[in-house]
A and B are shown apart, each in its own frame.
Chain A
Amino acid sequence: MTALALNLAETPTRRAWTRFRRNRGAMLGTCLLAALALSAIFAGAITASLGLDAEAVDLARRYAPVSAEHPLGGDELGRDVLARLLQGGQVSLSVGLAAAVAAAGIGATIGLLAGFQGGLTDSILMRITDGMLALPVLPLLILLAAVDPTKLGMSAGSGGAASVVRIVLIVALVGWPGAARLTRAAALSARAQDYVRAARAVGVHPFRIALRHVAPAAAGPVIVAATLAMGQVILFESILSFLGLGIQPPLASWGAMLAHAQDTIWERPMLTIWPGVAIFLTVIAVNFVGDGLRDALNPLAVENR
């Protein structure tokens, strides 16, 4: 520990990595997440190699029991549950990743603006952020999901791909406040640093100061916020898809699978287990990684925590 602190040749990134690696929860989360990501990326290949098809309906296999060919059995239309789970993971994870990046982008912009500008801008933006944090998000999500895109002058778009884009936008619009809070705090502390004051004294354009001097200082918190936001937006997506307002069939997502599982819960309660476990594991892994990153990237973090 002391050796770490004395080793001046070590870069901050390296030090953060050392700290991250020591955090068991974070490493476990990383491994879990890596496994989930790989299974999502190679979902097609895995299903094909097992001789399965996520969208093939076979009514003879309705509620097929667990067997060698169908490791998790069949669903209400005889589709293979494992193949659906893999495909659903592809959708849920990519929606989560895209929406988390978008949410962190919105949040970082708002946070940077608020922290850097201060004054009235800050007050207004933070009131909005606090409101978003305090008020229940689910009604807002439902409202946004019920909006008709044609009335906004967008093309209606139908089918799976359009529902994916839609849901990414919706959950990103709701998932940004956490990132805004963290970025604002980082921007506020960066703004008071001597190098920023020096840059200002030299007459550097405020926009350039914000971008070149304040934003990099906020990079750590933004990464943390994006990670934590990913856990949230995956939950948002799952709940909207569960309520029938998110991902549309024939595309599967974990939330949408659970919606169908609820319809048939009296016949096959087992179908409600796996998609939920998948969401749960993903979110818990993301949260562990996020917490680990927060501790690792915080230069003031106490070692050995």
Chain B
Amino acid sequence: MGRIIIQRTVGAGITLLVLSGLTFALLALMPGDPVDLLAGSDPRLTSDDIARLKALYGVDKPFWERWISWLGRLAEGEFGYSRMFGAPVADVLPEALLRTLSLAIAALAISTVLGIAGGALAALKPGSIFDCGTNFLAFAGVAAPSFWLALMGMALFSITLGWLPASALPADPDAGIFECARHLILPIAVLAALETAAILRHARAAVGEALTQAHVQTARSKGLSDFRIIWRHVLPNAMTPLVTVLALDLGALASGAVVVEVMFGYPGMGKLLYDAILGADYNLAMAVLLLGAGAILMANAAADVAYAALDPRIGFGKAVT
């Protein structure tokens, strides 16, 4: 048990390291560096000044040298300074992280409940209208572009019906908690709809698989209610594979969160990342990317460990391969 946790953590760490190098290389390939941008906004800077500034900030060095020094600073717990916000990255991140977490957790909670309940009901009555309907919805949710779903939500609920605001934050910064929550309904709903579609398919498959087992037939022949069979005898078995799939879907959820945050103007990690990449705020972009990737890799590793721990048929040795 201890060994697999260590192995997974080390694996995730190596992946993160490689990823940070790759990201650094890509950022170095972007047009202009921070000093170029500074020069563009300040006509008084001469080319000598620019060269001096570049040397001062080290942006004239090759990317791998900068990467190594960035890693060194990271090791000291230093994320660097955000150009866009004019503040240390460490000061900008917590609020954005909190915002994204509340968005993602709300969406994930809704879609897990809806997806598993829908998938279980569909699996109970294969071939029924409900089964076909949820199956189509799941298919449709995977094929619908996330940003279009958001656009349709805005067009319908904000513009045509006028029920919900089209931005994720109230214009008035002192708005009460209910007003804030009302602004979040649409973004959460869009994100939840996308995630529900993914979970529906997996839940349908997992529950369908678990239903074929002998102990379920026994329970059924004892005359237990459908609800009790699902709750007590099927879901515990179906949850094991589901947890892994849910963890694998976190990447898609994060992509969806970026889209939703950008479209609804919600200053969470996704919007921060988008603005940071397009605004050449390298320190911020690196921090957000690695934090997000790290969280997802850790969740995946945790799901693997949980999977191995929950399913006695899976030996730890096997799960490592």
Q: How far is the CA of A135 from the CA of B296 in the complex (A)?
A: 7
Q: Contact check, B143 vs A139: say whether CB atoms are below 8 A apart.
A: no
Could you tell me which residues of chain B, from 153 to 192, have a CB within 8 Å of some CB in chain A?
154-156, 159-160
Q: Contact check, B251 vs A146: say whether CB atoms are below 8 A apart.
A: no
**Which one, A127, A235, A242, contacts B15 given CB within 8 A?**
A127
Q: How far is the CA of A10 from the CA of B85 in the complex (A)?
A: 68
Q: A134-B300, A137-B255, A266-B159 are in contact. Are A238 and B145 (CB under 8 A)?
A: yes
- Segment at the A interface, from B24-32, B40-48, B203-211: B24-32
Q: A134-B248, A136-B258, A283-B143 are in contact. Are A258 and B15 (CB under 8 A)?
A: no
Q: Contact check, A280 vs B29: say whether CB atoms are below 8 A apart.
A: no
Mask, B192-231, CB within 8 Å of A = 1, is 0000000000000000000000000000000000000000
B164 to chain A, nearest CB (A): 14
Residues of A within 8 A of B28 (CB): 151
Q: How far is the CA of A191 from the CA of B297 in the complex (A)?
A: 31
**Which one, A137, A242, A273, A284, contacts B147 given CB within 8 A?**
A242
Residues of B within 8 A of A269 (CB): 154-156, 159-160
A234 to chain B: closest residue by CB: B145
Q: How far is the CA of A148 from the CA of B278 in the complex (A)?
A: 12
Could you tell me which residues of chain B, from 49 to 63, have a CB within 8 Å of some CB in chain A?
none
Q: A136-B254, A269-B155, A280-B140 are in contact. Are A152 and B29 (CB under 8 A)?
A: yes
B19 interface contact, C-beta 8 A = yes
B148 interface contact, C-beta 8 A = yes
Residues of B within 8 A of A287 (CB): 139, 142-143
A213 to chain B, nearest CB (A): 25
Could you tell me which residues of chain A, from 262 to 284, have a CB within 8 Å of some CB in chain B?
262, 265-266, 269-270, 272-273, 275-276, 279-280, 283-284
Q: A258-B147, A269-B159 are in contact. Are A239 and B297 (CB under 8 A)?
A: no
B258 to chain A: closest residue by CB: A138
B293 interface contact, C-beta 8 A = yes
Residues of B within 8 A of A135 (CB): 19, 251, 293, 296-297
B277 interface contact, C-beta 8 A = yes
Q: Is the interface of A mostly helix, strand, loop or mixed?
A: helix
Q: Contact check, A151 vs B29: say whether CB atoms are below 8 A apart.
A: yes
Mask, B234-276, CB within 8 Å of A = 1, is 0000000000000010111111001100110000000001100
**Which one, A150, A272, A280, contacts B144 given CB within 8 A?**
A280
Q: Contact check, B23 vs A143: say whether CB atoms are below 8 A apart.
A: yes
Could you tell me which residues of chain B, from 267 to 321, have a CB within 8 Å of some CB in chain A?
273-274, 277-278, 289, 292-293, 296-297, 300
Could you tell me which residues of chain B, from 116 to 143, have a CB within 8 Å of some CB in chain A?
139-140, 142-143
**Which one, A127, A137, A146, contacts B277 given CB within 8 A?**
A146
A292 interface contact, C-beta 8 A = no
Q: How far is the CA of A137 from the CA of B262 in the complex (A)?
A: 16
B149 to chain A: closest residue by CB: A276
A64 interface contact, C-beta 8 A = no
**Which one, B139, B142, B145, B274, contacts A276 given CB within 8 A?**
B145
B111 interface contact, C-beta 8 A = no
Q: Contact check, A131 vs B19: say whether CB atoms are below 8 A apart.
A: yes
Q: How far is the CA of A280 from the CA of B253 in the complex (A)?
A: 19
Q: How far is the CA of A85 from the CA of B148 in the complex (A)?
A: 15
Q: A142-B277, A144-B26, A146-B277 are in contact. Are A279 and B151 (CB under 8 A)?
A: no
Q: How far is the CA of A50 from the CA of B187 in the complex (A)?
A: 40
A231 interface contact, C-beta 8 A = yes
Q: Contact check, A131 vs B15: say whether CB atoms are below 8 A apart.
A: yes
A171 interface contact, C-beta 8 A = no
Residues of A within 8 A of B289 (CB): 139
Residues of A within 8 A of B145 (CB): 235, 238-239, 242, 255, 258, 276, 279-280, 283
Q: Contact check, A133 vs B27: say whether CB atoms are below 8 A apart.
A: no
Q: Contact check, B139 vs A284: say whether CB atoms are below 8 A apart.
A: yes
Q: How far is the CA of A128 from the CA of B154 in the complex (A)?
A: 38
**Which one, B29, B248, B251, contacts A147 given CB within 8 A?**
B29
**Which one, B31, B32, B255, contacts A138 given CB within 8 A?**
B255
Mask, B3-33, CB within 8 Å of A = 1, is 0000000010001000100010011111110
B204 to chain A, nearest CB (A): 14
A299 to chain B, nearest CB (A): 22
Q: A279-B148, A280-B148 are in contact. Are A272 and B155 (CB under 8 A)?
A: yes
B112 interface contact, C-beta 8 A = no
B142 to chain A: closest residue by CB: A287
B171 to chain A, nearest CB (A): 15
B152 interface contact, C-beta 8 A = yes
B148 to chain A, nearest CB (A): 4
Residues of A within 8 A of B258 (CB): 136, 138-139, 142
B146 interface contact, C-beta 8 A = yes
B159 to chain A, nearest CB (A): 5
Q: A134-B251, A139-B292, A265-B159 are in contact. Are A284 and B140 (CB under 8 A)?
A: yes
Q: Contact check, A133 vs B154: say whether CB atoms are below 8 A apart.
A: no
Q: Contact check, B148 vs A276: say whether CB atoms are below 8 A apart.
A: yes
Excluding A242-B145, A272-B155, 4 further A-B contacts by CB distance (< 8 Å) are: A137-B255, A143-B26, A148-B30, A242-B147
15 A-B residue pairs with Cβ-Cβ distance under 8 Å, sorted by A, are A133-B251, A136-B292, A137-B251, A146-B31, A147-B26, A147-B29, A148-B30, A151-B31, A231-B143, A258-B145, A258-B147, A261-B151, A270-B155, A272-B148, A284-B139
Report, nearest first, the 8 A-B pairs whose CB atoms are least far apart: A276-B148, A269-B155, A148-B31, A138-B255, A136-B254, A283-B143, A284-B143, A136-B255
Q: Which residues of A contact B (CB under 8 A)?
A: 127, 131, 133-139, 142-144, 146-148, 150-152, 231, 235, 238-239, 242-243, 255, 258, 261-262, 265-266, 269-270, 272-273, 275-276, 279-280, 283-284, 287-288
